[in-house]
Amino acid sequence: MSDKFISIEGIAKRYPGAGGATTTIFEDLWLSMARGEFACVIGHSGCGKTTVLNILAGLDAPSEGAVIVDGQAISGTSLDRAVIFQSHALLPWRTVLGNVAYAVSSKWRSWDRAKVRAHAQKFIDLVGLSGSEHKRPSELSGGMKQRVGIARALSITPKMMLMDEPFSALDALTRGTLQDEVRRICLETGQTAFMITHDVDEAIYLADKIFLMTNGPGAVLAEVVENPLPRDRGRTDLHRHPLYYALRNHIIDFLVTRSKTFVAETPGHDPRNVPVVQIGKPGLSIAANGEEQRQTWIPGPSPGLTA
Amino acid sequence: MNNTSLRVRAGLVSIVLLAAFLGIWHIATRSTGTTTTMSPEYAKLMGLTATQGKSAMPGPLDVGAKLWEHLKRPFYDNGPNDKGLGIQLGYSIARVGTGYLLAVLVAIPLGFLIGMSPLLSKALDPFIQVLKPISPLAWMPLALYTIKDSSVSAIFVIFICSIWPMLLNTVFGVASVRKEWINVARTLEVGTIRRAFTVILPAAAPTILTGMRISIGIAWLVIVAAEMLVGGTGIGYFVWNEWNNLSITNVIIAILLIGVVGMLLDQILARFTRMVTFPE
């Protein structure tokens, strides 16, 4: 974690409220991610998750603080940071190929048509949409539309992918398949990914690190949960892992009760040094923010119980 | 199949309605026989209206015969007050086309600017709100005074009446392009000009074309009145001239043709609208 590929440093978002008052969605938010890491943010609606993602994407500017990506403070959007939108946001007057090619030709402006097409085709094949290149978005199912969204994001070979609940509008079966695809693609290409989700199982399956946010307004990043599950985990036997339930229960408990009470119960919470929760790993210390480390240890079930 | 049968049935009803209308028209305007006894010489002088009870309104057969005559020779030119209907319609269509195209050239770029800038949008709103409800014919004296050419004044009147629906629809279409499409362009670092042509224009095109379709309809409504005022040529002038000649037959024919041309203009724009409309 010494390699801070993405570093969010003390950002805040405030909106002017009624009668001259300001509403603070969140403030003094610090978090960092390493290259190739997959992070999920979980929190209730209104805690500012989407705002954090929009700031990372450059679509929104923080009221305070800065975001540093790969050693450089960001200002505005960039082709290095691809966004997969919740509503897929395909241009309905373009075909599947046209939508992906639009992104490709935006990144490599000097490329000729044939080269753009060939490059776009490669990513359409990658998400399994070969044969549907010339269909319009209205002719596609929700899952296929989101595949196009993923192909469009990947086609510009970004340094990181930002996903705002990309699968929340899909049925469970399609969601599962797309989660597999995203996980496969991210592992294969070593993509750094930042994803917002409401689905605890999705976070456990995909993420290396899970950021838990308390309720807004005045939301804070409460904990960083490290995923103890092995990297080669499969979606179908996830729940058989001995630490799965401890992890899941920890997140659910947070969402159900602690997300409301965390701020009041934790007066000493240091937003620059958010506790890292390592489920089932007592005493193992990993330098988080390069400073002293506070740790919470949640015991996992003993092997005898799960056997 | 159900759809075709509906279309066939609707067509049949249309034909029946037309036949009924023509029949009633025919019966209402036919001669009722000798109504007065007068010397043949005097009767000839008085015409069929007085002697045979014939209505002064022409019947469908008269109109049909006259229409056929016009259609056979649409482009004859016997001097200022006697030109073929094709020539008169041609003048009107040319005026509408010129005024309308000028309005397109002004309204769409201007609408784009206003739609993309909330400041301009707010600043220009009061002017548009005041100018929009002005009857285009109210501009006519001002146009005649400044332009000093009646034909160009008619074109100006068409310009001023067709600009508002296009301008307002362009502003609305551009301002209400979905945020997510704009965000896609932003995350892809697409420049302002390219964004305007590749995202905003296609997204706003159906709304803009709807405005253009409303405008062409209004322009065609206004040209008849404008030509009645400026005179000389055009279908509007033809109607007024034939009224002065007391040729109701020709007036009815002109009314019919105005309707047909208006429908064709609308259909052309409707086709363009369908071409740029995208399903979601």
CA within 13 Å, CB half, A43: 31
SS3 readout for chain B = CHHHHHHHHHHHHHHHHHHHHHHHHHHHHCCCCCCCCCCHHHHHHHCHHHHCCCCCCCCHHHHHHHHHHHHHCCCCECCCCCECHHHHHHHHHHHHHHHHHHHHHHHHHHHHHHHHCHHHHHHHHHHHHHHCCCCHHHHHHHHHHHHCCHHHHHHHHHHHHHHHHHHHHHHHHHHCCCHHHHHHHHHCCCCHHHHHHHHHHHHHHHHHHHHHHHHHHHHHHHHHHHHHHHCCCCHHHHHHHHHHCCCHHHHHHHHHHHHHHHHHHHHHHHHHHHHHCCCC
**Are B198 and A58 within 8 A, CB to CB?**
no
Residues of A in contact with B186 (CB under 8 A): 58-59, 77
Mean pLDDT, chain A, integer:
86
Judge whether B48 lies within some domain: no
- Chain B residues whose CB is inside 8 A of the A59 CB are 183, 186-187
What does the pLDDT look like over B76-86, one tens digit per residue?
A: 888 888 888 99
**CA–CA gap between residue A280 and residue A59 (Å, rounded):** 38
Tell me what pLDDT residue B20 has: 97
Nearest of A201, A260, A198 to residue A49 by alpha carbon: A198
Q: How many CA atoms lie within 13 A of A302 on its CB side?
A: 2
Percent of chain A at pLDDT exceeding 70: 90
In a domain, B97, yes or no: yes
Q: Which of A290-299, B88-97, B140-149 has the lowest mean pLDDT?
A: A290-299
Q: Which stretch of A167-176, A275-284, B190-199, B255-264 has the lowest confidence by average pLDDT?
A: A275-284
Query: How many interchain CB pairs under 8 A, A with B?
Result: 55
Instruction: Report the gap between the CA of A131 and the closest CA in chain B (Å).
Output: 20
Which residues from A are below 8 Å from B when comparing CB atoms? 57-59, 77-79, 81-83, 85, 87, 89, 91-93, 102-103, 106-107, 136-138, 156
Kindly tell me if the per-residue pLDDT of A151 is higher than 70: yes
For range A180-191, the mean pLDDT: 87
Closest chain B residue to the Cα of A95, Cα to Cα: B278
Which is nearest to A84 in space by CA: A175, A177, A182?
A: A182
- Contacts of residue A176, defined as CB under 8 A and 6 or more positions apart, other chains included, come to A235
CA nearest A81: which of A118, A110, A55? A55
Judge whether B220 lies within some domain.
yes
With respect to residue B152, please indicate whether it lies within any of the assigned structural domains: yes
DSSP 3-state of A137: helix
User: B178 lies in which domain range?
Assistant: 85-276
Residue A305 has pLDDT above 50, yes or no: no
For range B43-71, the mean pLDDT: 80
What distance in Å separates the CA atoms of residue B147 and residue B162, rounded to the nearest whole number?
A: 19
In a domain? residue B192: yes
Q: In this predicted complex, what is the ipTM?
A: 0.83
| Mean pLDDT value of segment A107-133 | 93
- Can you give the pLDDT at residue A204? 93
CATH code, domain with B209 = 1.10.3720.10
What's the pLDDT score for residue B51? 66
B198 to chain A: which residues are within 8 Å by CB?
102
Q: How many domains are contained in chain B?
A: 1
CA distance A195 to A50: 10
- Selecting from A85, A93, A106 the residue whose C-beta is nearest the C-beta of B180 gives A85
- Helices and strands (DSSP H and E) totals, chain A: 9, 12
Q: What is the pLDDT of residues B207-254, one digit of tens each?
A: 999 999 999 999 999 999 999 998 889 999 999 999 998 899 999 999
B52 pLDDT more than 70 = no
CATH code for the domain defined by A6-80+158-270+280-306: 3.40.50.300
Separation between Cα atoms, residue A10 and residue A301, nearest integer Å: 36
Of the residues B183, B186, B187, the best mutation for testing chain A's interface (the one with the most A CB atoms within 10 Å of its CB) is B187
Does residue B46 lie within any of the structural domains? no
Q: How near does any CA of chain A get to the CA of B102, in Å? A: 28
Flag whether B228 is in a domain: yes
A87 contacts in chain B (CB < 8 Å): 180
